[in-house]
Structure 1
């Protein structure tokens, strides 16, 4: 499905509201952003509408310097497009939340994939941003018990979603049993080959 680009007339607001809301659900992000800058009425329409349905959103943490920033960043992809690179600073996170609130009110995803970090990871920001999401499958990649616990704390905000988990360490058996039912659960070894652990080795 290819999202169309629109050359929209200024009398767009004369169309029925039900049609406008359907139109906003198929409009590409760059067109939503362009539209909201044309007038206050369009800005309000964009901010208060649903952005439609997408295949996946991936949120990845980077703690090493990049070209655009010396601060740790979160990189958010929606489908094949980089939605944003966010500096993990109070100002950076605040600016992004303000921006996203102007682009859509709600959005639907088949899958949201999260790669967490041990320490500098803004869970409150993540919960606030993801509160706009209707998520079918919430997927986590974890490398430590700290990250696994953070995953658990996010799961509680999505009681209607399904979950999957891939760990690259050997969690305590009780920790795994305390997780909600998973669509997919992989416990992989931490060595470079990343060979899956057998059930026998996990239960030792």
Structure 2
């Protein structure tokens, strides 16, 4: 990544940061998903977004070797805290979070210090996979369904509802919560195909409609998780 590219990214970030600040944003969460499926993050003040866009935010490659319990395994491209990657926000995806006032979110691409994509960056892997499909005359089409469970504030898990699987009772008992959730997702611009109780105790499903993309899609599941937290 040369100087001209860094200056272009900084110039592009200026209006984005101004728009977010006008929406009351003070911090921007830059996220990536590791190999165990956990969303990791570093955040920057909104007035430092341009610097993050041009030079990135430091992040250790060790997260590629983190398990779900934060224990570390060995790997060829990662496995220890030595070294540094740069998180560069995707400014086209930067958006204020409806359910978290004061915060915005942007997915981050991970680069090495010399400005090349990190071999284990999931977004770059996805781009290459989508490009390979396009070369074969195919178009990627995907959808996401988020499922979660509501529990009471107890030491042990106690379902927040005792209604049957797919029962209307569950929807009635959680009607205010689900209405707030749908409102937040609508304000966030997340399309929801349906929302319904599921089979596990107090669980709910919220699938999004399939979309066709030529690049990694906005993870609607991330919005839904933040909104339904």
TM-score (norm 2): 0.22
Which of the pair is proportionally richer in strand? Answer: 1
Superposition TM-score, scaled by structure 1 size: 0.24
